[in-house]
Amino acid sequence: MLNTGQNLRPGSQLFSSVSESNHAKGKYYLGNQQDGNLVIYPAGTIDADSSYWSTGTSNRGLLLTLSLDPNGTLWMFDGNTSFTKTLFLTNQSSGAAPAVENYYCLTLDADGVLRLYSHVFLRLEGKPTIKVAWQVPGDRCLVKGVCGPNSFCQLTMTGETSCSCLPGFEFLSTNQSTLGCWRTLPISGCVRSNNSSNEETRMMATMVEVKNTTWPENPYDALPVTTSIEDCKLLCLSDCACQISMFSDSYCSKQMVPIRYGRISGSNNTLFVKVYTYRAIQRKKIAGAGAMLISGATLVVLSLVVLSGSVFLICRHKRSLRYMRAPQLYDCKVDGDIGLQSYSFQDLDVATNGFTQELGRGAYGTVFKGVLANISKEIAVKRLEKMAEEGEREFHREVRAIARTHHRNLLHLLGFCKESMCHLLGYDYMPNGSLANILFNSDVRPSWSKRVAIALDVARGLHYLHEEIQNPIIHCDIKPENILIDRSGIAKIADFGLAKLLIGNQTNTLTGIRGTRGYLAPEWSKNTAITVKVDVYSYGIMLLEIISCKRSMELKRAGSEYNISEWAYECVMFGETKKVADDACIEEAELVRMLKVGIWCTQNMPVMRPAMKSVVMMMEGSKEVRQPPRPASFSQS
């Protein structure tokens, strides 16, 4: 709350509360940015795509202070110039009745709306009259985050907000509709769209139309402007990755879920949502009454056999229960729909020839090369070490969560083994090794275009982990050693999900530093919660290493360790970018853009770092990269 006579200075923030009765930090904040812009964001974001109101005063070289005068005037001013901007000017006359007193306060309410309240006191009455003198935004559905992922906002007759799920989705919680929605039938990959009448059909995908809604675009593929609305629907239906297609003014784009910040509007946009349904099983009919009689008799006999077998197994099971340890009662069975293989220890021992060919060691364990002889497939087997005390069900649940993450830039988990104290994970084998080997241990420096492609691959993979799955995953150890290169030169992030598997709930980790020296975000050493922004920091350090082909920890100045982001900042400021990367074929504009992205990612404060979605857009050149502030020194000794 900003009271009369108070100022919100540059770099300061005003947070909403959770509710009127709970004054803890809520879902939204008003930030007075160092670029001179006053912006409202959902908590945890700073990228321009997530903001839903601003004063539009950025990039003028001003440091503006927000001030609320006792007379109710809300304005911004720069202490070094004569620049001012009035946001609200009260119409209260100077000759107001002496029996009336006005008191003003500016509040970012729990619903994300910024309101200027006028408290009118009559001196003969103790209770004030409270009015809203000014508010932004005017439409409460313009507040981003009022409804969760895969749902859209609409105003009721009373002016309240109401959230609705997209077709094929249902609320995460029936009691809290603002949390968003998830699919009623979780799907990954392709399903059959049709079959012959005599074959079993498990699922069918159809496109359901949603009109008069507005959504921010986050396409992974844009189709030619000549595409018709019907083609837009069919092209998404035939694409395994496409979950939603958006058509507007002859422009069609393909989207993945989750999709956010939707609202009812009068726009002419048309949304097509892929909806999955089960189909009834159809089988060939058996002709003739004789065949029916035979089938019935067969069923009776089979029933008796099954009943007898069941009684035998139950009796045997009761006798053996007292000899089994409780954890072993949970068998290594995994959902078949995610294609995860349950290996025995003997399977992997044979495949790796007794775990003899070591590929590398990391924070989570040792990796060995193996071959599955039955299918002649090369694999990499990671033997997990220093496991947290997890129950069988918890271990299997986390492994399934890792297996359900499918992305071009994530290392694919093939299967696992959990026997006694042994925890093994089987992955696709990456013949080209790690990014660390390519950057630091090779006689030939990789080309600039190849380095940019790898950096983009990793950024897209992190964007998926942070923002595109139902339960975001914080990697906690992004570094070149954990980026592997496949046969086609595509970069894949390894070891994702293992931090949570080994150390428990990572979203509220306040102690126990995880990661590698040189890539650790400052908040690891502070008493603050760990968020996805620790990965953004580590990525920024790694991006600068990719650009320079130099390790951050190897940079020295005056005999001491030198922060790579500070070095990059000085090179940009003094026009000496060729010191960072001296490749002759590099365009300087592209090099500067990449360096700025790395500097933004390594800002000391998590809130100043961009989301990975913005990182991808800036690196692709579809979003402007503003001049970053100087990164603060941070020692990881």
Provide the CATH number for the domain around residue 460. Answer: 1.10.510.10
Confidence category of residue 328, pLDDT binned at 50, 70, 90: very low
**Which of the listed residues 104, 138, 172 is the one where a domain comes to its end?**
138
The secondary element (H helix, E strand) that includes residue 588 is helix 588-601
Task: Identify whether residues 43 and 186 lie together within a single domain.
Answer: no
Is residue 318 in some structural domain?
no
Confidence category of residue 463, pLDDT binned at 50, 70, 90: very high
Is residue 345 in some structural domain?
yes
Confidence category of residue 287, pLDDT binned at 50, 70, 90: very low
Domain harbouring 64, CATH code: 2.90.10.10
Closest C-alpha among 328, 427, 418 to residue 380: 427
Is residue 350 in some structural domain?
yes
Residue 334: pLDDT above 70? no
Identify the residue with better confidence: 571 or 98.
571
pLDDT of 297: 54
**Which of the listed residues 92, 110, 138 is the one where a domain comes to its end?**
138
Find tokens 């392709």 and name the residue. Answer: 190
Number of domains in the chain: 4
**Which of the listed residues 253, 278, 303 is the one where a domain comes to its end?**
278
pLDDT of 61: 81
Is residue 307 in some structural domain?
no
Task: Identify whether residues 118 and 201 lie together within a single domain.
Answer: no
Residue 195: pLDDT above 60? no
Residue 504: pLDDT above 50? no
Mean residue pLDDT across the chain: 80
Contacts of 618 (CB under 8 A, 6+ apart): 593, 596, 597, 600, 610, 624, 625
Residue 223: pLDDT above 80? no
Q: What percent of the chain has pLDDT over 90?
A: 30
Task: Identify whether residues 125 and 223 lie together within a single domain.
Answer: no
Q: pLDDT, tens digit, for every residue of 558-602?
A: 454 567 888 888 888 888 888 888 676 788 889 999 999 999 999
Contacts of 217 (CB under 8 A, 6+ apart): 246, 253, 255
Q: pLDDT, tens digit, for every residue of 538-562?
A: 999 999 999 999 888 776 554 545 6
pLDDT of 326: 30
Is residue 146 in some structural domain?
no
Task: Identify whether residues 13 and 159 lie together within a single domain.
Answer: no
Confidence category of residue 46, pLDDT binned at 50, 70, 90: low
The mean pLDDT of 126-141, rounded to a whole number, is: 87
Task: Identify whether residues 513 and 577 lie together within a single domain.
Answer: yes
Task: Identify whether residues 609 and 493 lie together within a single domain.
Answer: yes
Task: Identify whether residues 452 and 565 lie together within a single domain.
Answer: yes
Closest C-alpha among 611, 627, 466 to residue 50: 611
C-beta separation of 458 from 542 below 8 A? yes
Which range scores top for mean pLDDT: 357-361, 483-487, 521-525? 483-487
Cis peptide bond upstream of 258, omega within 30 = yes
Task: Identify whether residues 226 and 190 lie together within a single domain.
Answer: yes
Is residue 629 in some structural domain?
no
**Choice among 292-301, 315-324, 459-468, 537-546 with the minimum mean pLDDT:** 315-324
3-state per-residue secondary structure call for 57-104: CCCCCCCEEEEECCCCCEEEEECCCCCEEEEECCCCCCCCCCCEEEEE
Task: Identify whether residues 133 and 182 lie together within a single domain.
Answer: no
CA-to-CA separations, 425 to 330, 357, 395, 422, 495, in angstroms, rounded: 18, 16, 12, 10, 10
Residue 296: pLDDT above 60? no
Identify the residue with better confidence: 521 or 268.
521
Query: What are phi and psi for residue 398, nearest 5 degrees?
Result: -70, -35
pLDDT of 586: 84
Is residue 286 in some structural domain?
no
Identify the residue with better confidence: 441 or 123.
441
Task: Identify whether residues 359 and 464 lie together within a single domain.
Answer: no
DSSP state of 131: E
Task: Identify whether residues 273 and 196 lie together within a single domain.
Answer: yes
Q: What residue numbers bound the domain in which 597 lies?
A: 436-620
Catalytic residues: 477
pLDDT of 123: 62
The mean pLDDT of 395-424, rounded to a whole number, is: 84
**Choice among 157-171, 513-527, 547-561 with the minimum mean pLDDT:** 547-561
SS3 content of the chain, % helix, strand, coil (to 5): 30, 25, 45
Is residue 303 in some structural domain?
no
Task: Identify whether residues 465 and 613 lie together within a single domain.
Answer: yes
**Choice among 436-445, 488-497, 534-543 with the minimum mean pLDDT:** 436-445
